[in-house]
Amino acid sequence: MAKGQIWSYDLLIATVVFMFTISLIAFFWWSASASIISKPGDRLAMGAADLADTLLSPGNPSDWPERLDTSDTNTWGAVSVPGITDGFDRQSISVDKASALVQMNDTSYGELKTRLRLAYDFYVEVKEFYNCSSSGMLGSSFNCADRGINQTTAEWNSTEHFVGINGRNFTFGLPPSGARSVSVSNRFAIYNNSIVRMRVMLWTNQTWQ
């Protein structure tokens, strides 16, 4: 056998071995990555963060409250993403969008969950921060009494308070009562000229091993 033929044969064998080794490494890397990402707890955490990002967007279309009837789920198909901010570059929550989302939840939590493309149950609450018992509140234009808070209420000494919307607490979704697993994602935004915290909870009653 000529030397050139022997060299070509050796090169072919080396190439095959090299490609097989690379493929094997890639397979084990992909398996390890898939195993990490596929953990239910990780999926829950990523889902909560994704939902928070979705909500703090203008939605698609951006004028979505004008395109549906919040009391008629048959009209909700016109909305791809029900976000609640005024724009991508503004972390200001729109009163109209927030109100529409709360009304949609009242109409059908299940349909809203589907519209948000969620595999798990969810609950969202929006709170602002102030202390009515603080001396700094004396003489302030901020009126605690108008919010139903006085020295006889439990909220008097609290620093966290639900934001009000349509005469009720700004919450929507299904509270995680008895949940076995809960993942929380917090975001801050502006609502009615106040800094608020939106707490997004994704939860499930599934038992994971």
Predicted local distance difference test score (pLDDT) of residue 118: 94
Q: Which residues lie across from 123 on neighbouring strands?
A: 173, 201
Instruction: Work out the burial of residue 10: count CB atoms within 10 Å of its CB; fewer than 13 is exposed, 13-18 middle, 19 or more buried.
Output: exposed
pLDDT of 139 higher than 70: no
- For the ranges 38-52, 171-185, 186-200, which has the lowest average pLDDT? 38-52
pLDDT of 33 higher than 70: no
The dihedral sign for the CA sequence 106, 110, 115, 120:
positive
- 3-class DSSP state of 143: coil
Predicted local distance difference test score (pLDDT) of residue 138: 62
Question: Could you give the maximum distance between any two Cα atoms of the chain, in Å?
Answer: 102
Distance, in Å, from the CA atom of 120 to the CA atom of 115, rounded to the nearest integer, reads 13
Peptide bond into 61 cis (omega under 30): yes
For the record, the structure tokens of 146 come out as: 């108008």
The pLDDT-based confidence of 135 (bands split at 50, 70, 90) is confident
Owner of token pair 């076995």: 180
What is the C-alpha end-to-end distance of the chain, expressed in Å? 61
pLDDT of 187 higher than 90: yes
> How does pLDDT run across 51-62, given as a tens digit for each residue?
999 999 999 999
Q: Where are the domains of the chain?
A: 3-29+40-204
Distance, in Å, from the CA atom of 66 to the CA atom of 58, rounded to the nearest integer, reads 13
* DSSP of 26-91: HHHHHHHHHHHHT-HHHHHHHHHHHHHHHHTS--BSTTGGGGS-TT-GGGGGG-SB---EEETTEE
pLDDT of 23 higher than 50: yes
For the record, the structure tokens of 17 come out as: 């071995």
Q: What would the mean pLDDT of 10-20 be, rounded to a whole number?
A: 56
